Chain A
């Protein structure tokens, strides 16, 4: 069946209410293409969405999905994958969801290395609440709640992932549709936690991190033939580069073993007997 699946099968018939021109359209399209290209279909895919503009993605895509509590998308995805290693799990959220209220979960999801994909739609702003600073906003970015800027440097999510022991770190740009889909595809195919930070510009509230800014400044690692994503030191260099921003796969651990393989969590946990397990009286006898 999966060979017949087209990316539009992952599209629901709800029309997105994102602002015209929002980067999230491109981000979502790339995710759908990547899912279809990797042989998944909506019935074996579980999308977990966070809260914020990005969180609406669960409604606009067609698959099994949960749109949950702000910041807790990764734990939900983790639970789905543990219970059903056969299901393709994709978690999507914004920069606020992932790096502010959910930052604690991000660190631990990264180091747990569960085989799922995490797409962060990073617009460096809180859009749904009409334009407040996000953890990735520039320190001088003026907003309604930070009239003089956030007065603190932005989080570097890639560095946070690296420090947490990530096995796959990538960055893409929603408007570079082909590359974005390709990068998400690599994240899906990665054996472990595939993390992609996607620049997904907010055309309404962010006049700094715009399409033009990313188009002009983003360096594609694919064009830099020297970059070897399996080289940790090289990855560190591009991730910690304070002068330039990159797209592409920064780092991929070739020896990554996903959580379920490492810990033998391979059963379909939805299957249980009609009564207590056959040998269950042994559990009682343990207490003799």
Chain B
């Protein structure tokens, strides 16, 4: 396992924790180091504990661990909240001039830096967090010039004076530590490399994937943690002739997106929590009108308002079964930030090829985590666009009935009908949420009803045969112990493998990005002695689905504290679970 450094800044919401953390993450990325960030926050703009945590290494990091080496604490609560993760080698940077008396356990190194005063000398108290970053640079042996680059990126738009003041603030922190502390015994020395990395989170990857895939219309309603997809697209989608609309609610958002899609645009909406409940109303219409639509659900803790800024994978059943009646659909759950990009591209292709709703199920952990990747991980030349059976005017004729009506819901062998968009001559037609005939007109004829239901379901079967529904595999494929996961747990699980290996436990990890259709895991589960399904919910929704598929019992690891899995914690959980009796 590579040498990693775990750093955090914490304070009150409104203290600029997030932007300070992002600046440090950016600096580490500029220095050719890999970064994996996580956030603890409350859904209040001001007030309440919040922290930005960074795990960094020269090798790829894809999980958080239960260890904190350097902590910038703006409040006592920041220290108290993280006591479990702090250790005797930890350094805590705090401002002793502030009104609170920091209670720092004796075995840790307290680094008292007058953050506010030094910031004021550099040009303003607002820069106190930057002073702390300078101090952190000194403690970790990290060249402050990388921080300069990040400060230029962050404040460049605000003028050179602001940039210079911030650089000065960083140096003030660095020099203060240099003059007042000898911390060489802590042994932190942050290596750098010449590698270029990009630093982005899952929602940005979804937004970028949408643009790459040709999404030109997005309608949404702000909701944590999905909003940043909308924020990413706003200001960028216009460069490609697209538009973002903030709707009055999610009922409207999904219907606007549906309208955009019927007009021929690649369209999407994204939401979370109660937003997906409201959108459920329209799931059936998307399916029966055979409209290609991508619906992203960035899951958060529920039910009801739940813990809106906390992690959970509780919407799997909603994505699979939401909506009255039987709604054919695809459910895709990206397992990493790069996969957020690629699965979004794929979602748009699936939607148009099969004229079916595609649920792109991500989660809060992935949406707020910033992670480094080589830019080639998002190689745009690899993006393929498949618009399916979108017909042009020359092809309309072959889809007209004897009276010259366009058969928009023609019953075909593969279930997929031709799709004509407004402006296509002689292809005007209606689509509806009512059961309909091939022309899209209401019917309650038994034969027609059965034909249409079957053809819509047949699209899913066609897709099942023609598309790849592979899983991702890690660890030892021949191991007796099989651990299955879906969505964002992959990174923690992959890193947990290293801990397990150290303890001599071989594990085969299957990370499943396709929830419906999904890979058949019967052989893999039958070949394993033990199967554990890992997910961030209380009831084991994916485990239920797997048990149903394979007709056998599996063990479960469920976390529903609102916090994502950590690699070391997950390794312990797996070790413990392996010794448990299989449930009856």
User: Which residues does A use to contact B, with CB under 8 Å?
Assistant: 12-14, 42-48, 58-59, 62-69, 71-72, 74-84, 86-87, 104-105, 107-108, 263-265, 267-270, 272-277, 280-281, 283-285, 287-288
Contacts and interface: CB of A to CB of B under 8 A. Distances in A.
Given A64-B428, A67-B431, A68-B433, A283 B212 contact: yes
B245 A82 contact: yes
A284 B242 contact: no
A277 B442 contact: no
B547 interface: no
B263 A270 contact: yes
19 contacts: A43-B424, A44-B422, A66-B258, A67-B433, A68-B255, A68-B289, A76-B255, A78-B259, A79-B258, A80-B259, A82-B256, A87-B423, A105-B252, A108-B248, A275-B380, A275-B383, A283-B380, A284-B375, A288-B198
B249 A104 contact: yes
Nearest to B442: A59
Interface string B276-302: 000001100100010000000000000
Interface in B209-255: 211-214, 216-217, 219, 236, 238, 240-243, 245, 247-249, 251-253, 255
B89 interface: no
Nearest to A86: B423
Contacts of B441: 12, 14, 59
Contacts of B433: 67-69
B380 A78 contact: no
Nearest to A283: B208
Contacts of A273: 214, 385
A24 B330 CA distance: 39
Contacts of B245: 78, 82
Contact of B381 (A46, A65, A86, A276): A276
Interface stretch (B103-111, B124-132, B264-272): B264-272
B500 interface: no
A104 B266 CA distance: 26
* Complex A-B, nearest 6 residue pairs according to Cβ-Cβ distance, in ascending order: A79-B259, A270-B264, A267-B241, A272-B214, A75-B255, A287-B198
B538 interface: no
Interface string B406-437: 00000000000000011111111111111000
Contacts of A74: 252
Given A59-B442, A66-B262, A75-B256, A280 B247 contact: no
Interface residues of B, number: 71
Interface in B532-567: none
A203 B120 CA distance: 78
Contacts of B217: 79, 82-83, 269
A284 B378 contact: yes
A62 B427 CA distance: 10
A273 B241 CA distance: 12
A195 B385 CA distance: 39
B255 A272 contact: no
A72 B264 CA distance: 19
Nearest to A280: B380
A121 to B, nearest CB: 17
A66 B380 contact: no
Nearest to B440: A65
A66 B375 contact: no
B200 interface: yes
A184 to B, nearest CB: 19
A43 B30 CA distance: 54
B403 interface: yes
A83 B538 CA distance: 41
A269 B259 contact: no
Contact of B267 (A63, A79, A284): A79
B246 to A, nearest CB: 10
A17 to B, nearest CB: 9
Given A59-B430, A104-B248, A272-B216, A280 B198 contact: no
B21 interface: no
A62 to B, nearest CB: 6
Contacts of A76: 255-256, 258-259, 262
Contacts of B196: 288
Contact of A84 (B199, B247, B258, B264): B264
A94 to B, nearest CB: 16
Given A80-B262, A274-B385, A284-B198, A67 B430 contact: yes
B89 to A, nearest CB: 32
A209 B262 CA distance: 37
A84 B383 contact: no
B257 interface: yes
Contacts of B204: 287
B432 to A, nearest CB: 4
B93 to A, nearest CB: 28
